A and B are shown apart, each in its own frame.
Chain A
């Protein structure tokens, strides 16, 4: 296993160049240092993951996973989500069985679950999520415009003037007045009155509450929705109407608003051992994970190892 600071550049290495001006812009606003984290790079273990897996499986090792019981395509209590499948794959690989702690993924999720020691891993968080120690990313996706396939318009950019008159659906989060990036991109352009919000929480008594925004496109309640790729890809494929997904541009709106995110697994800070173990699985089983993501219709903007839909 490679330590964190020795990781190979991903397919998007060249994009780092693009981001350097952004880095310079934000450096002023970021007084805190990452030096400590870099110095705390994990000591290399001489044991291989397989050794550990073999040793621990004997004792009935359990991989404790905190997950939302009603949040497809990511997870549900029936084990049907991307993250359920990934948890099973990871557990098999490290010689463990999955044990879930179910909790609605809302504000306080991290605090109430993994930070309260109810589980050891959260299967999906942004790679740069600071509350947890994150693994290497296993996919990068993007916000997408969702329209009917037979609509006379195909939106690719927030600067498309047609967005001023189309009815637009966006995901609503409500975190001290922060919202999903599309909402900010639209309000910044003064596109307000024709925007409708769909809370990501929805009505939790319903099945798949986050699907409502995609339903709205299929039903014609909105002309276009802007939603996070994995969610859009999964639900769009299940709508009776044929829907089209188009990645938004730009990928990052300067100076601060990204629409593409890397996704990792997260463990408690300090749980370097488990993080490294998971990193190992991500490397070894990359092709399987890519296939899994493909089967869920996750729009990718990184380069999967296995052949994938573009």
Chain B
């Protein structure tokens, strides 16, 4: 989302100078000195408040709730959906560990008592210096790593000392894809299936590579970079099909999910996320829970004209699958590229979640997290499939820490919202109406071009973006790595795309209440409240993993890889990596029978673009305003791309 947009240095200059290039400079100087004084005051105020924050929140210490932790971990904690979990804890076969997206491992050699003894086992440099968002796979004593563009796949031999490289596969993606991809050129990982490593390339191909020798088995073009489509997500394989979704909602792309035959790579079906029912695969089997989602061709009718054709609703996040219900779940991205005022209506099926049949894509239900999105709240985060006791009976639920700031618990058979609870400071909405399922927007925060709106929380990347949570059935807690950011919409700035000048909103992100921009949080799903949290200076843009040893792992953007007591939030151990971390930790059992933990560093992504993209910190509205909140990141870390593996 790195727009080529100007910084905020002078708002009025843009509009005025844009229209009239020759304003007398005396007037400028006068205005400048006046504003200069205001800036001094603002800096003073900011410094004071920052100092206060630093006093309040020293790093590494849980803020509260240690007592509650002990009480909540008794009986009645939700279990991972039985059909969607795996007992294969020695390996790591899919990015989210299992179909339930639990990121939970039953390995327990590493414990709160011994975690302090963790040591580096081996490292590996990918040779790429962009944002590394993927986690490794471990299959048959081999570790597989996918890099950001140009999307190399490395195989490392875990049976040999230092895990030397077995082979490297280069898919040779189109170089022009770099210019097309939004938000850095990341890749979120590969999946193992039936002797093949399967993953997506930035230029919208899905490739299958022989896990033994690294030769390409099939390579299927699933999207068109010439239309602005790219693919950054990690695929999921179920019932012999590979499920892939596109990115590029900002470019006027129409979102879809495609199913490929895992053996041949042939496309079996494609379901669009906007448009007529026939193309969305909505038919008699479609039974959404709420009234507003019932009706014919809502993917057309909830848009003006044919705006649905370029309406976004891409699917660049996480899929989950429940084999017992035979339902595939995934979220959809925000609507685009129209300004909200030019697309009145719910804009279906954007910023919501679909349940589909994996065999043919038939839609079974849909729920919209953020109808008529105004804040760039993509709805693509992961959903964790759990079975839990509610009102005396077992409900099959999915739990979603959503971008709009709420932890949702949905009945995953029907799409009914059972609860929606804010997990941080939210003021862009006032809650979710459980009768209608509707998000209740705050009318005073509605962005409009040229209107100054301050302190919109959460900001565009949401309370939590793509970075996946983990769930421990031992504690009943969801471990949520997330942001604590708000944003200001400050008037307008001149900009230019493909020869078309225009003015855009100046969006500036700032730290939310407390001053820390990131949080690693344990969330009690049953009692719907925070148990403990660790404030972090920068957004926590890494994924997490939690184990039966009651240890959770995550990384920070300034390059600390941390082991945390899953019950109390005490930091047990930490290791300083070369670059900041936005990857996904995994854990596995090595050929020697011992537990290992692996993480990739390599700062980047939307949040880390200031480093990976080498952006001038003065371009405070760059990366859609994210750079404003990350000005100190270049002083804290540099580019990288390294695998680190630890053991006791």
Binding site for B on A (CB under 8 A): 5, 7-10, 12-13, 15-16, 18-20, 22-23, 25-27, 29-35, 37-38, 68, 71, 73-74, 103-112, 115-116, 124-131, 136-137, 140, 171-181, 183-184, 186-188, 192-197, 199-201, 203-206, 210, 228, 230-231, 251-252, 255-258, 260-263, 269
Contact = CB atoms under 8 A, between A and B. Distances in A.
A30 B252 contact: no
Interface string B15-53: 111111111110111011111101100100000000000
A27 B374 CA distance: 26
B449 A128 contact: no
A34 B491 CA distance: 17
Interface string B357-401: 000000000000000001010000000000000000000000000
B504 interface: yes
Interface residues of B, number: 100
A25 to B, nearest CB: 8
Nearest to B452: A29
Contacts of B6: 128-131
Interface of B: 1-25, 27-29, 31-36, 38-39, 42, 176, 178-182, 224-228, 249-252, 304-307, 310, 336-344, 374, 376, 447, 449-450, 452, 460, 490-505, 507, 609, 613-616, 618-619, 622, 624-625
B501 to A, nearest CB: 4
A199 B503 contact: no
B31 A23 contact: yes
B339 A137 contact: no
Contacts of B496: 124-126, 129
Contact of B228 (A29, A129, A196, A201): A201
A137 B492 CA distance: 20
Given A171-B500, A256-B449, A256-B491, A109 B4 contact: yes
A233 B234 CA distance: 45
Contact of A200 (B39, B342, B498, B619): B498
Contacts of B179: 103-104, 106, 108-109, 112
A103 B498 CA distance: 11
Given A33-B10, A131-B6, A174-B250, 13 more contacts: A20-B27, A26-B11, A30-B10, A106-B497, A115-B613, A130-B494, A130-B619, A175-B495, A186-B342, A230-B499, A256-B450, A256-B503, A269-B616
Nearest to B499: A74
B306 A196 contact: yes
Contacts of A126: 14, 18, 494-496, 501
Given A108-B3, A112-B178, A263-B501, A22 B615 contact: no
B500 A228 contact: yes
A249 to B, nearest CB: 13
A111 B250 contact: no
A194 B39 contact: no
21 contacts: A10-B22, A22-B15, A27-B12, A33-B10, A34-B28, A108-B3, A108-B613, A111-B615, A112-B613, A124-B499, A126-B501, A127-B17, A128-B18, A131-B622, A136-B21, A203-B224, A204-B227, A205-B224, A205-B226, A251-B19, A260-B19
Given A194-B305, A195-B305, A261 B20 contact: no
Contacts of A74: 499
Contacts of A12: 20-22
Contacts of B338: 172, 174, 177, 179, 183, 197
B31 A27 contact: yes
B542 to A, nearest CB: 23
Contacts of A29: 11-12, 452, 490-491
B227 A32 contact: no
B311 to A, nearest CB: 10
B310 A23 contact: no
B502 A180 contact: yes
B377 to A, nearest CB: 12
A32 B616 contact: no
Contacts of B501: 126, 228, 261, 263
Contact of A23 (B8, B16, B18, B178): B16
A227 to B, nearest CB: 8
Contact of A115 (B7, B495, B615): B615
B4 A108 contact: yes
A188 B340 CA distance: 11
A19 B3 contact: no
A34 B24 CA distance: 13
B11 A197 contact: no
Contact of A178 (B176, B225, B505): B505
A108 B460 contact: no
Contacts of B249: 174
Nearest to A126: B494
Given A131-B7, A178-B449, A197-B310, A173 B342 contact: no
- Identify the 10 closest CB pairs spanning chains A and B, nearest first: A174-B337, A130-B6, A178-B504, A256-B450, A26-B12, A30-B11, A110-B4, A199-B252, A204-B226, A187-B342
B17 A116 contact: no
A16 B176 contact: no
Nearest to A173: B497
A213 to B, nearest CB: 10
A140 B21 contact: yes
